[in-house]
A and B are shown apart, each in its own frame.
Chain A
């Protein structure tokens, strides 16, 4: 690919990536961090099969599935906000961003309800190794959701194509990690 046709000329090996190159560095590093946690989970599961099987039964995979649908739809709204920004339709972009934030908040509400139902029956991060991973991984992801919501709020205020594209990339990364987390914790039993 010739240098002048690259999306980000002057960024060395990152020149060929669309959007903000630094966001891709963050996406790559976050994926590696979560991959390390997933590997740890896999190793612990192999060592404590009965405990992980019994504990997994306490989770509600339908709630997890619902949250997957909500987050992926929120990702669509953010992608449509980027399209609208690129067409200089900033009011429309803000509307899509607001819809994405609404769905992100709904994800949070479902997650909090899920946590509350576990705490109500005495299941905490200290219960056992499985729930240590469950709370640790989902809360770490939830922290990313909250940061992503703040970022979307910020670019709704300061709307430009570059800002919306950067926030959208972060939000899609949050989506991507949840896509991997959902089968690991809820579905593969």
Chain B
């Protein structure tokens, strides 16, 4: 049987995921009264927080930390590529 993350690690990961979700929401300035485009640093922070959340979910919730470095790299690489696509699309639209 694969070694599981354990309750303590799961709870710590959940707290990190909750915190990063709130960081994303604050970075996206959801408290602002009027709609406005995000400053680029805010958008970058949203993407970074999302990337870290996805990495934690893969490694702990999905227990990918038990896999070989090749598989870990493949999945983290795929998520990074997805976020790069999202970021590039956003950047092109913002700078247009």
Is A136 part of the contact surface with B, judged by Cβ < 8 Å? no
Contact for A69 among B18, B88, B96, CB less than 8 A? B18
Interchain CB contact under 8 A, A179 and B57: yes
Interchain CB contact under 8 A, A187 and B85: no
Given A76-B14, A183-B24, the answer on whether A16 and B90 have CB atoms closer than 8 Å is: no
How distant is B36 from chain A, measured CB to nearest CB, in Å? Answer: 8
With a CB–CB cut-off of 8 A, which chain B residues contact A34?
82
Interchain CB contact under 8 A, B46 and A188: yes
Number of interface residues of B (CB under 8 A): 55
Chain A 153-177 against B: per-residue CB contact (8 Å), 1 yes, 0 no?
Answer: 0000000010000000100110110
Interface residues on A, range: 35 or more
Residue pairs across A and B with Cβ atoms less than 8 A apart, 28 shown, are A17-B67, A18-B2, A18-B67, A19-B62, A28-B75, A28-B78, A31-B75, A31-B78, A35-B78, A41-B89, A42-B88, A45-B93, A57-B35, A61-B25, A65-B21, A65-B25, A68-B21, A69-B21, A76-B13, A79-B61, A172-B57, A179-B50, A180-B54, A187-B24, A188-B28, A188-B38, A188-B46, A188-B86
Interface residues of B (CB under 8 A from A): 1-2, 4-7, 10-11, 13-14, 17-18, 21-22, 24-25, 27-28, 30, 35-38, 43, 46-47, 50, 53-54, 57-58, 60-64, 66-68, 70-71, 75, 78-79, 81-83, 85-86, 88-90, 92-93, 96
Interface residues of A (CB under 8 A from B): 1, 7, 16-19, 27-28, 31-32, 34-35, 38-39, 41-43, 45-46, 49, 52-53, 57, 61-62, 65, 68-69, 72-73, 75-76, 78-80, 82-83, 86, 161, 169, 172-173, 175-176, 179-180, 182-184, 186-189
